[in-house]
Structure 1
Amino acid sequence: MKKIDLSLHTLLVALFLFGCNPNSKNQETESPVGFTLKESDLPEYEKNIDHKGLLTSLGDRQDESIRTGEHIYNNICFNCHGNPDQEGSMPNAFKFWKDEFKVGKDPYSIYQTLTRGYGSMPPQVNLTPVEKYDIINYLRETFIKEKNPGQFIEIDSTYLASLPIGTTTGPAPKEFKPWAEMDYGNFLINTYELVGLNAQPRERSSGPAPLPDENLVKANFAYKGIAVRLDQGTGGVASGKAWMMFDHDLMRVAGAWTGEEFIDWEAILFNGKHNISPRTVGDLHFSNPVGPAWANPATGKFDDPRFQARDKRKFGPLPREWAHYKGLYQNKDRVIISYTVGTAKILETFGLETVENLPVFTRTLNISSSDKPLKMRVAPSGTSVALVGEGAVLKDQGGFIVMEVAPSKPIKIKLLIGKSGIKGLTQYAKTSSPPEALDLLIKGGPARYPQKLTSEVQSGTQEGPFQVDIMNPPFDSPWKNQFRLSGLDFFKDTNKGVICSTDGDVWLVEGFTKNSGKLTWQRIASGLFQPLGIKVINEQIFVTCRDQLVKLHDFNGDKETDFYEAFNSDHMVTDHFHEFAMGLQVDKEGNFYYAKSARHAREALVPQHGTLIKVSKDGQKTEIVATGFRAANGVCINPDGTFIVTDQEGHWNPMNRINWVKKGGFYGNMFGFNPPADSTEAGMEQPLVWVDRERDQSPSELLWVDSKKWGALNGKLLNLSYGYGKVFVVPFEKIGNQVQGGIFELPVPRFSTGVMRGRFNPGDGQLYLCGLSAWGSTQPQLGGLYRIRKVEKPMVIPVGIQATKNGMKLTFTDKLDAATIQNTSQFTVKTWDLLRSRKYGSKHLNEQTLAVTKVELEKDGKTLKLTIPNIKPTWGMEIQYRMKDERGNPVEGLIQNTIHQLGESPTW
């Protein structure tokens, strides 16, 4: 059987590669049965598939087919769907062993669902027809036939005769790993586990949530690992053969390794695997355990004072007065780390030499004068180590080879480190080149990515009040970038902006407002740790990464980043895949804000899990503003100085939440760090609205409309949809201290990627959006960039909502026809409750349809009063309406909202 290496991310990338046009009108409507893709979006060969032949051939290759299908299922399906013994990470995902198929239960119908996508199921466009029938065969024989027989259809001659006639079986399976093929640059920051040859399998807990903690005390994780390629060659860190890992929490070299592969790519944003971090692959020549590399200058001891979690591991950076990471310089392929130990300033770079054809790893350190003696653990005792230069000595102490530096004038030294047993290293040190003066390498070097790329802007011509321009990135990049876009902002010259991607890149993009029909893309930074927010302040670029808030510096005017300043690195990073650092906003005083997600299906380990975080204007202080979030996707700062943070359905979240956040508030996730004793609704702050999964599977960031061109929507609140690629307006009210309201989908086509971040461009007054699709998004394209333009057409969009003891008030942007609103049958109001518990999500409970007995139009011609005698507070409400505007045009819509309190209605 040919090896297959697939993931959801692979499949999403392939949609673009297969030539599906995400800008076509086919994306604006779905097929009658709800498929995501239309037939015209599919590769040409799909129209001529020999389905009968493929199904018939299964009898001759049954064992191989089931093995292949099992391999595919375990690689791309199990994470979400699970199996009868272990629930997947998306408990609402289809369960083949007990659920009923919605489209059809015969093999050809299941094939159509896999091929074209349906509902929350994205199209599996990277699976070949043979592979799709292999996985269908596996599902039928393993889960459906015995456990769910009502959904099993026999394949007989009559059924085979009913299938479409074709002559091809499609392309042969192809191994495709875009995450491993990308050129990330010569370094890549991530969380890594360092292991050697013949490493033991990972320990991974299972069972009902919360999952128990594994025993990882002895595992060598570099939670803020800077992996640096040392050998020469193209393709960046992923194409190397020798690497060194620097951990900037502890200022330690965690280890060095060689091999034919960089890492195993086991991670949510690499091959799509959940609950796992990537491991090094190859021969680990030496490693240092998790702990401070430098002794505390004040005490001379290596005792680790950092926060100790429940599982006995320690997390976060060392105290600043002990050691502090300042950032990373890059000059060509050279990486120079800047940090302090006590009063000493240190520059360090890494290299590779050979002794008798064996690799020797080098560390060159330039150390300024210090007011106290310094000690650094180089490697465990027994490792071959030699020293080049003067001003330091090596000693064997406490199981380590320790370098000691006396208080003195600045020194330059080079450490040579090789495997235990290398002979001649001391003699080689006498002839090795002297340590470099690293200050010569930190002033900026030649451009690493000199090519400027271009992409076409496809102008929208949609009917209605909005037109959407597609501004897709240059997917044919020479560096094979995936372009999973995760943040954008603009400069004072509003024709220019910066865009970050979760794969580690930052791009300078030009062409936003001059409307030449093209955009120019320049890669100005790379290798960052999952950027998910970006902000331009006084023309300086700040990026939210999982390990730090980074400030980018260009020293020589070529726009590329020469210094990645660690503006703030107080982040407490663990190995858990789910703790993304989301969004970046700045208040009027210049303080920064981002949200940090909690662990998925696990209890928090560190205080920062599931929090809204503030970083002071100077980057020197971090504080937690609010707690209790599960998967907080971004931050919105409100005009009154409060915040909005979204959250996702899951454990302790019966449905998605949009939270109007108060300082010190707790927002419901009892798996968060140090939750309150009261697990009822009374123990948490209530959301503005519980967003039903039918409306949006995964809300992302909100923003306020700041554009006169958007007419009656100016000053209103928008919510972006990562899950379904939509944009919503959020009408709301405040009763007492509680904000409540709902969402209404803007009349624009669903975007072909999940929408993450948006900014209004002050130059043209229009909304720019960027997005990505990975875990938890149904949209098929991996990344995208869009512009929504408001045009001079009526909107008739609800922008105001009030819940009263008599019913609901809805205020629209445009005037309505008084005659058509008289018919109460044109209005349908449904309500439901939810159950909040440690279980994942909730079904609708106590569903009801409430009678609307009267509808009136107020004098402004825009405000409806719906009299609803049985109205009461409810977790979820859905208001559907059909009427006409004052021009006689039909108006249909749906508002989904939450009511916590009923206000007074003295005029009713």
Structure 2
Amino acid sequence: MSQIAKNRVRKWGVVSILILALTTVLLTGYTRFEKQSDIPDSLHLASFVEPGFPYISTSVDARKLGAGFPADNQAARTLALQLGDNAYACFDTDLLRWSVAWTGKFLPMVLMAQISYKDFFNKNNGIANVTGEPKIATGPYAGWTTGKPGFRDGKTEIEPTWKALPAEQARWGGAYVYGNKAILHYTVGDAKIYELPGSTRFENQVAFTRTLRASQVSKEIYLTAAEISNATSSEVKGKIAYVFQGANKDSVTALGIAGKGNWQPEVSEGKYLTVKLPASEKQTEATVLIWKGPVKSLKAFEKLCRAKPETLPAFEKGGPAAWKETIVTKGKTAPDTAAFVTDQLTLPLNNPWKRNVRVADIAFFTDGHAAVVTFEGDVWKVEGIDKDLQNIQWKRFASGLHEPLSIEVVKDTIYVFDRSGIVKLHDLNNDGNADFYENFSNVMSQSAESREWAADLVHAKDGSFYIAKGGSLSNGPGMTKAAFGKGFRTGSDQNGTIMQISPDGRRFEMIATGLRGPYLGYNPKSGMLTATDQQGNFVPSSPIYIIKKGDYFGVIPTMHRSDNPQIAPPLTWIPHSVDRSSLGQAWITGTKMGPLNNSLIHFSFGTPGLFRVLIDSTSKITQGAVSFINANYPAPTSKGVMNPVDEQLYVTGFNLWGSASTGISSLLRLRYTGKPSYMANQFKAGNQGIIIGFDSELAKSSVVNAANFEVKRYNYQRTEEYGSGHFKLDGSTGEEILPVAGSYLSADSKKILLLVPDMKEVMQMEVGYKLLAKDGKKVNDHLYFTVNSSDDIDLEKAGFKNVDLNLLTAKKAEMTSQPAKVELASAEKGRQIFQKMACAGCHSPGTKTDGMYGPPFKNLYKSERTFDDGTKAVADESYIRESILTPSKHIVKGYNEEMPSFVGVLSDPDIESVILYIKSLSGK
């Protein structure tokens, strides 16, 4: 059990924890169960690290290994290899080096996917440090070089580049999985290298082995195997090199070569153990043994080096299948109660490996079967996706990936984007398991910062890929210094960007910069690229963008430019209370989704749910709007894609924290039933007002009553603070309520025109409406949009004749004489605000902390608060008011700055109501 889990047990008790865990699972997109005896065994999850798989992908911080080891040693993209005999090594795929090898315990499972694997809402991720006994390490330089060894002074710590070696110098090729062994493939110059890492025991010692096969060695190459910074002397005898440590030379790190050939061990600068591989036209193979231990065991090691070396297995034809079983689940189709409903594809939680399944993304093969990728780092193939979903067949295909969030299927081949890059998966022997995890592309930089997500991957119609990379947010522990700009660390030089990767994976082009946490949408027909970003520092609310090459979107720490670019406007902003956490997008490209055909769909993690995006491309600057698609969303919605066979939208998502949903994960089908849809399907905003189109005909009597509409507008302020309050057009705090001077229905009864005086460019507008459809159905909804350009509307062309524009002038004169509303504060009103403003997604009204951004509210009032700077305060009325208006001023210890200001959003009576509500939760 983790230390965090132990603390929680001490705080709440074992029984409370079990009840909370079971409640959490039962409320997820996982299959629901009526009683505890029905809960499948798979909910008792096995370890994140599986003993039968040879590695996990991870980052590792090895800067504090102790005396004799390089002081500057960290790596973002490594394979943490299980070598047997309680021996482990991390292979840095960027620099092609063993960054560290050790014995004893494996790495602690503290990275984001690892720590939340069983404790679903735990966001207190850590940094992976070696907790066993380190034996071997190298510094931040190339593990292989051509012509001569190459080193860097590891005593002086410098910021790493977080980049792979230039491909012409050396390049990671990928890993073959052969049973519980991994065969590493890479090139060094022209040379092709295959490596089987392992370990062997002799006496009571463990030696590390690197069985290497080299071919096409046109020029001599060097392997740097270890750096011993406190060496006292060294020597080379035949096929063994020795570096002694200690005043009495009682400790030694030795490297020996077992096998035929003329590979030669060397000691460089008295502290680097290297191996020289001379140029050769023939393929050569040998085993390099490396060991650190007492001198008294040296003869036993020398004997070991004379033994017959290990040989590489026939890995190129594929290995034995690790996962042979097929898991069958039954889905749940929704009743056809609306135009769009969500069917649930039950996840294979009851699997033989007791493996968690948090689905991050889905892609389809041409025949309609799917591949999904999980945050655990697994890929599953899914068949049996038919109308009824009663025989869904899940087959595990791949594992060991590093926090993957995206998957694509191109020409029936699977590509996954994780922190190691874009991985292309090959089943070499057609046994249903991936055998070769090819490095398709690692040209993108990747730091070890936990929030520098490998966020999104889409395949373009020209064969290239677009990727989105998260900004290196300063939440949680970090491995890089603070960036210039609040809320960020330096991370890599490509964080917070959108890039295009060439069809061969070997080149990249920067497309857009200045993003905080972007996710992508791509229209495979038109080639339009869209993106979302995450509200936070420098991002005042959730935006949707149409991406053009050269765009900059306003986040200074991820600008990565020096030409002082203009900030590109979003298609639309979305208010915090509507979607505080945006993720992916998908285009409805088929012909079977009815009114949604050809629509852009936006995914909200925070709400959760799907939004229809409306685009007004007739304005001088393209602008957009969003409208919520009402359906059942049992878990956060993150990514989605069209099934080419049934042409319905399939939606994935999993929870970490900060969503209004308590579900853990789900796989849904958004299905069109053929019933009438009453959603907004088009909009235009201009000088005369607002036009909104609908899927169904409306009753004229409800449209022409202006009292059925509410219109308001406000701006945001882009600062380095988290999010933004609301501001009127004159810069003062608050929102402007605009009157509807007149309302009209088009001749086809599917469009309405709202005459709104004083229309201007503004960041956010909201229209609420309570209408009746022609068939009597109530249509009560909201539309949220941005006015980037307020131009004259050709009303007659839009379908509206005989519009009395004089109403605009009359209403504008009335606007300045609107009486102020008298508001009364109450705890009940505070409770309503708590729900309406999405506070409930971040703060529990009880004592719950799992999945919550902020502290719970129960017993908050008059409690003592300890802040991250060590100061303290009592949570009285003034403290609560300050927390609402300037939340970044004091951050409670254990939490991050993740709350926007409600300046201009809440009135004084609103704030007083929230205070009364919080008091009521404390019985005061």
Q: Structure 1 length normalisation: TM-score?
A: 0.76
Residue 843 of structure 1: aligned partner: 725
- Out of 385, 392, 415, the position equivalent to 2:255 is 385
Amino acid at match of 2:255: V
Q: Percent identity at matched positions? A: 27
* Counterparts in 2 of 1:184 and 1:355: CA distance versus 1, 3 Å: closer
**Structure 1 match to 2:876:** none
Partners of 1:754 and 1:254 lie apart in 2 by 37
- In the aligned structure 1, how far is the partner of 2:642 from the partner of 2:365? 12
Provide the rounded CA distance (Å) in 2 between the counterparts of 1:687 and 1:648.
Answer: 13
CA shift in 2, pair 1:755/1:18, >3 Å: closer
Residue 906 of structure 1 and its aligned partner are, at CA, apart by: 3.4
Structure 1: tracts of 5 or more residues without a match: 28-39, 45-174, 201-215, 233-240
1:397 alignment partner, one of 248, 264, 268: 268
Q: Is the 8 A contact 2:332 2:389 kept in 1?
A: no
Judging changes above 3 Å, is the alpha-carbon distance between structure 1 residues 673 and 301 closer, same or farther for their aligned structure 2 residues? Answer: farther
For 1:479 and 1:497, the matched residues in 2 are separated by 21
1:555 aligns with 2:423: no
CA distance in 1, matches of 2:196, 2:468: 33
Report the Cα distance in structure 2 between the residues aligned to 1:252 and 1:387, rounded to whole angstroms. Answer: 18
Q: Which amino acid aligns with 1:285?
A: K
For residues 824 and 474 of structure 1, do their structure 2 counterparts lie closer, same or farther at Cα, with a shift above 3 Å needed?
Answer: same
Aligned counterparts of 2:262 and 2:636: Cα–Cα separation in 1: 55
CA distance, structure 2, for counterparts of residue 24 and residue 335 of structure 1:
33
Distance 1:222-1:15 versus aligned 2 partners, 3 A rule: same
Q: Which residue of 2 aligns with 1:767?
A: 649
In the other structure, the counterpart of 2:61 is 193
| Equivalent position of 1:458 in the other structure | 332
1:169-222 Cα deviation digits (max 9, x unpaired): xxxxxx99876466683211111123677899xxxxxxxxxxxxxxx9944212
Does the 8 Å contact 1:244/1:253 carry over to 2? yes
| Deviation of the 1:346 alpha carbon | 0.3
Letter in 1 for 2:790: L
2:289–2:305: 8 Å Cα contact kept in structure 1?
A: no
Say whether residues 1:364 and 2:220 are aligned partners: no
Aligned-partner Cα distance in 2 for 1:300–1:875: 59
Matches within 5 A, 1:488-887: 488-494=362-368, 496-513=369-386, 515-600=388-473, 601-637=487-523, 639-675=525-561, 678=564, 683-735=566-618, 738-749=621-632, 751-846=633-728, 847-887=735-775
Q: Is the contact made by 1:182 and 1:481 (CA closer than 8 Å) also made in structure 2?
A: no
Deviations 1:498-521 (CA, angstroms, capped at 9, x unpaired) = 000121100011111263512111
Structure 1 residues 673 and 808, CA, compared in 2 at 3 Å: closer, same or farther?
A: closer
Shift of 1:396: 0.8
- Amino acid in the other structure paired with 2:757: P
| 1:481 counterpart letter in structure 2 | R
For the 8 Å contact 1:585–1:594, the answer to whether it is kept is yes
Kept after mapping to 1: 8 A contact 2:530/2:544 = yes
CA displacement at 1:325 relative to structure 2 = 0.7
RMSD: 3.1
Report the alpha carbon displacement of residue 818 of structure 1 after superposing the two structures with TM: 1.1
Q: Encode CA deviations 1:308-366: one digit per residue, 9 max, x unaligned.
A: x9963222011111111111101111100000001110000111111212111111000
CA separation of 1:15/1:426 partners in 2, compared to 1, >3 Å: closer, same or farther? closer
For residue 249 of structure 1, what is the aligned residue in structure 2? 94
Deviations 1:591-638 (A, max 9, x none): 111101111122544331111111111122112111111101234247
Which letter maps to 2:91?
Answer: F
Q: What's 1:337 paired with?
A: 184
Aligned twin of 1:300: 148
Say if 1:452 and 1:393 are closer, same or farther in 2 by CA, change over 3 A. same
Q: Deviations over 1:493-545 (max 9, x none)?
A: 11x11000121100011111263512111110000111111111111111111
- Inter-partner Cα distance in structure 2 for 1:454 and 1:12: 28
Amino acid at match of 1:340: T
CA distance in 1, matches of 2:382, 2:20: 24
Q: Is the 8 A contact 1:461 1:468 kept in 2?
A: no
Distance verdict in 2 for CA 1:545–1:266, change over 3 Å: closer
Q: Aligned letter for 1:900?
A: N
Q: Secondary structure at the match of 1:820?
A: helix
Match of 2:73 in 1: 220
Query: What does the per-residue CA deviation read over 1:774-801, in whole Å, with 9 as the maximum and x for residues that have no partner?
Result: 1443322222111111112111111111
Q: Which residue type is aligned with residue 277 of structure 2?
A: V
Q: Distance in 1 between matches of 2:289 and 2:51?
A: 28
Counterpart amino acid of residue 863 in structure 1? K
Distance 1:16 1:729 in 2: 34
CA contact (8 A) 2:265 2:276 kept: yes
**Offset, 1:426:** 4.3
- Taking a change above 3 Å as real, the CA distance of residues 863 and 641 of structure 1, as seen in their structure-2 partners, is same
Q: Is the 8 A contact 1:393 1:405 kept in 2?
A: yes
Cα deviation, residue 708, structure 1: 2.2
The answer for the alignment partner of 1:265 in structure 2 is 110
Q: Does 1:407 align with 2:279?
A: yes
Whole-angstrom distance in 2 between the partners of 1:880 and 1:691: 14
Letter in 2 for 1:300: K
CA distance in 2, matches of 1:739, 1:661: 12
Per the alignment, in what secondary structure is the counterpart of residue 738 of structure 1?
coil
Query: Distance between the aligned counterparts of 2:303 and 2:266, measured in 1?
Result: 19
Aligned to 1:889: 777
Distance 2:77 2:423 in 1: 13
Task: Indicate the larger mover: 600-609 or 440-449.
Answer: 600-609
Counterpart residue type for residue 801 of structure 1: F
Asked if the contact 1:330–1:563 (Cα under 8 Å) also holds between the matched residues in 2, the reply is yes
Counterpart code for 1:475: L
SS at match of 2:99: strand
Q: How many residues align?
A: 731
Q: TM-score, normalised by structure 2?
A: 0.75
Equivalence for 1:5: 5
Shift of 1:384: 2.1
2:916 is aligned to none
Partner of 1:208: none
Task: Check 1:3–1:547 CA distance in 2 against 1; reply closer, same or farther (3 A cut).
Answer: closer
Amino acid at match of 1:832: Y
Are 2:428 and 1:428 equivalent residues in the alignment?
no
- Contact 1:583-1:633 within 8 A present in 2 as well: yes
Alpha-carbon contact 2:111-2:450 (below 8 Å) kept: no
Amino acid at match of 1:718: I
Q: Residues 742, 604 of structure 1: CA spacing in aligned structure 2 closer, same or farther, 3 A cutoff?
A: farther
| Paired AA for residue 747 in structure 2 | K
